[in-house]
Amino acid sequence: MSDYVNGIFGLKGQVALVAGASSGIGSEFARALSRAGADVVLGARRTDRVEALSVEIANDTGGRTLAVELDVTSRESVEKAFAKAKEALGTPTIVCNNAGIARPNWALEDTEEDWDATMNTNLKGMWRVGQVAAKAMLENGKGGSIINTASILGLGVGPQQLTYATSKAGVVQMTRAMAIEWQRWSIRVNAICPGYFKTEINDTFLDSDLGQQMLKQSPAKRAGNLSELVPAMLMLASPASSFTTGVALPVDGAHSVRLA
């Protein structure tokens, strides 16, 4: 990489924490952040998975990695994870706020439990991680970049997505609110809005007839590859986006802008 490109996009000297790193997008983000030069903290409830991935990434890149237990629905767990990260690698300057769940259901069928579980993880969990991250960054005095994984379902809506889409729309608005308040401390907050990428959260749906039909009707006529999502995250994580904050960036092959 040329010095010019490395100066803009390189992450050497940065510490990145990924929430929800045990699968899918979070795992891919962790790999990419290490390849770009950051020390990486992999946070998840499934510690066996992040411990194995942490070793795999360190062997691959030669970078420093750490696996920590992290449940975004518990403030104690989030604070502990940030404390462990600080102790082992330093205060995170990049946080991929990525943990999420989906419970597709017809609006008339959603239960109180569906609503609470979805909001507690997708919206309140991201708020909690974002706030703990910002407090740590403020104390550290170096600023940072928080990247919330929202969704194109935070920008538009589809059937059976009432709770999920509502939570992700909340993430988009929360991102903007955080951005305007925390800019004064050089803490940038952006949302990435993926279209459809096949992971554990949606593989059954995408393999179904309905899922296949939905993809065929989308402008790109296919799901995205995770390698097509990662660069947008790296841009938001890196000095390349030093004046970019409060943005909700779709990475979706134009899925979210198509009207018919």
Active site residues: 164
Binding site for ligand NAI (CB under 6 A): 20, 22-26, 44-45, 70-73, 98-101, 121, 125, 149, 151, 194, 196-197, 199-202
Q: How far is the CB of 82 from ligand NAI (least distance, A)?
A: 14
- Residue with smaller CB distance to ligand NAI, 127 or 196: 196
Structural tokens at position 23? 């699968």
Token pair, residue 61, equals: 């890149």
Instruction: CB nearer to ligand NAI: give 10 or 132.
Output: 132
Cβ proximity to ligand NAI, 10 vs 71, nearer residue: 71
CA atoms within 13 A on the CB side of 236: 29
Q: Which of 56, 58, 55, 46 is nearest to 21 (CA)?
A: 46
Distances (CA, A) of 111 to 72, 122, 160, 201, 256: 22, 16, 13, 19, 28
Q: What is the nearest approach in angstroms of ligand NAI to the Cβ of residue 246?
A: 19
Which residue, 61 or 98, has its beta carbon nearer to ligand NAI?
Answer: 98
CA angle 191, 128, 30 (to 5 degrees): 55
209 to each of 9, 105, 194, 215, 217, how far by Cα in Å? Answer: 40, 17, 21, 10, 12
Q: Whole-number minimum distance, CB 71 to ligand NAI, in Å?
A: 4
Q: Which two tokens stand for residue 259?
A: 């009207």
Rounded least distance, CB 223 to ligand NAI, Å? 7
